[in-house]
């Protein structure tokens, strides 16, 4: 009995030491709220790198400035004012006037992001939660016609959510009033207390909750966004001289192939998902001579 009591005392002491270290951990919190968020991703890269100099050409840089100036000028006060789900349909016309190039567009309103970081002697834990009440992701394909001043536009609904309230015709009757999108992430990095301790790889848990939604998948989108999937370096670094800053890491695109030992768990859940797959039909008609 004496041995058992002594063992229990040591165990409680170890627990108390671990709790005390957690209590003294450093904590930081961040809360960001956006009334609305818009992201426009162009299919083609406007910036062109000269093969002779390895730098971005002046003409492509000027073209990029013109496109950006026209984009924000046409948006006007719509970019500064918040908008909601009811304004998404009106946003189609406004964004088309602002950007008449093939692009992928994300609209979300409102968006709330909360994150916290906790550092202790044994681990570092970073958590983040992102919620968006209304979300819409569209691919906008613009075809300019010489005989008309208005371009021909085709929208591919990459991700659309059902509206809350009375269900529209053909929609599910189970429409939730919860946010369309909720993403929760937790990243844990263990710190070895000594050299002989066993090293544990970083662990990341990602949970994505989608409300009733529909998706359109077009396999040919991979070809249309090849410039995004295969980014080119914006410049070619020269030999670093003494006293100069090495720009190799800045000029080169992000290396997504680097492998480090880590564990990631991804969970995606939704009460209802309607998936539509588009198959392009080739035109096999003979050419007329």
Q: What is the pLDDT of residues 178-215, one digit of tens each?
A: 899 999 999 998 877 666 666 778 899 999 999 999 99
Q: Which residue has the higher pLDDT, 111 or 255?
A: 111
Phi and psi for 220 in degrees, rounded to 5? -75, -5
pLDDT, position 253: 57
Q: What is the pLDDT of residue 135?
A: 94
Which contacts (CB < 8 Å, 24+ apart) does range 137-141 have? 137/104, 137/105, 137/106, 137/107, 138/92, 138/104, 138/105, 139/102, 139/103, 139/104, 139/105, 139/218, 139/221, 140/95, 140/96, 140/99, 140/102, 140/103, 140/104, 140/105, 141/102
Q: Check if the beta carbon of residue 118 is closer than 8 Å to that of residue 33.
A: no
Q: Which of 179, 152, 218 is nearest to 84 (CA)?
A: 179
Rounded-to-integer distance, Cα 105 and Cα 39, Å: 6
pLDDT band at 9 (very low <50, low <70, confident <90, very high): very low
The answer, yes or no, to whether residue 272 has pLDDT greater than 90, is yes
The residue extents of the domains of the chain are: 26-162+178-229+261-277
Across the range 62-85, mean pLDDT stands at: 83
Cα distances from 283 to residues 118, 144, 222, 280, 286, in angstroms, run: 59, 21, 20, 10, 9
What is d(CA 183, CA 120) in angstroms, rounded to the nearest whole number?
Answer: 25
Cα–Cα distance for residue pair 29/90, rounded to 1 Å: 36
User: How many CB atoms within 10 Å of residue 134?
Assistant: 22
**Predicted confidence band at 24 (pLDDT cuts at 50, 70, 90)?**
low
Q: Say which residue, 151 or 84, is predicted with more confidence.
A: 151
The pLDDT of residue 279 is 81
Higher per-residue pLDDT: 242 or 142: 142
pLDDT band at 17 (very low <50, low <70, confident <90, very high): very low
Looking up tokens 């859940």 gives: 269
The CA–CA distances, whole Å, from 208 to 105, 107, 119, 212 equal 20, 18, 25, 13
pLDDT > 90 fraction of the chain, expressed in percent and rounded: 38
Average pLDDT over residues 244-271: 68
Using the predicted structure, report yes or no on whether residue 8 has a pLDDT greater than 80. Answer: no
pLDDT value at residue 22: 57
Greater confidence (166 vs 86) lies with 86
Of the two residues 81 and 46, the one the predictor is more confident about is: 46
At 64 the pLDDT is 93
User: Looking at 53-67, 192-206, 227-241, which range is the least confident one?
Assistant: 227-241
């Amino acid at each position: 009995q004496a041995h058992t009591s002594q063992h229990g005392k040591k165990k409680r002491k170890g627990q108390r030491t671990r709790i005390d270290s957690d209590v003294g951990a450093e904590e930081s919190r961040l809360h960001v709220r956006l009334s609305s968020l818009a992201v426009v991703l162009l299919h083609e890269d406007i910036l062109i790198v000269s093969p002779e100099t390895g730098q971005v050409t002046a003409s492509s840089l000027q073209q990029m400035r013109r496109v950006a100036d026209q984009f924000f000028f046409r948006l006007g006060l719509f970019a500064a004012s918040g908008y909601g789900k009811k304004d998404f349909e009106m946003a189609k016309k406004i964004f088309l006037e602002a950007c008449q190039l093939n692009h992928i567009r994300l609209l979300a309103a409102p968006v709330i992001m909360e994150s916290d970081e906790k550092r202790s002697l044994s681990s570092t834990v970073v958590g983040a939660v992102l919620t968006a009440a209304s979300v819409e992701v569209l691919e906008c394909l613009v075809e300019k016609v010489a005989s008309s001043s208005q371009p021909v536009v085709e929208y591919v609904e990459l991700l659309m959510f059902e509206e809350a309230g009375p269900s529209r015709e053909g929609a599910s009757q189970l429409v939730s009033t919860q946010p369309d999108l909720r993403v929760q992430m937790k990243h844990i990095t263990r710190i070895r207390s000594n050299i002989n301790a066993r090293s544990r790889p970083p662990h990341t848990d990602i949970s994505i909750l989608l409300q009733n939604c529909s998706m359109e998948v077009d396999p040919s989108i991979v070809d249309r966004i090849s410039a995004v999937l295969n980014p080119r370096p914006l410049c070619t670094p020269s030999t670093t001289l003494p006293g100069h800053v090495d720009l190799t890491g800045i000029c080169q695109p992000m290396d997504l192939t680097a492998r480090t030992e880590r564990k990631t768990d991804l969970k995606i859940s939704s009460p209802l998902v309607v998936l539509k797959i588009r198959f392009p039909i080739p035109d096999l008609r003979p050419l007329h001579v």
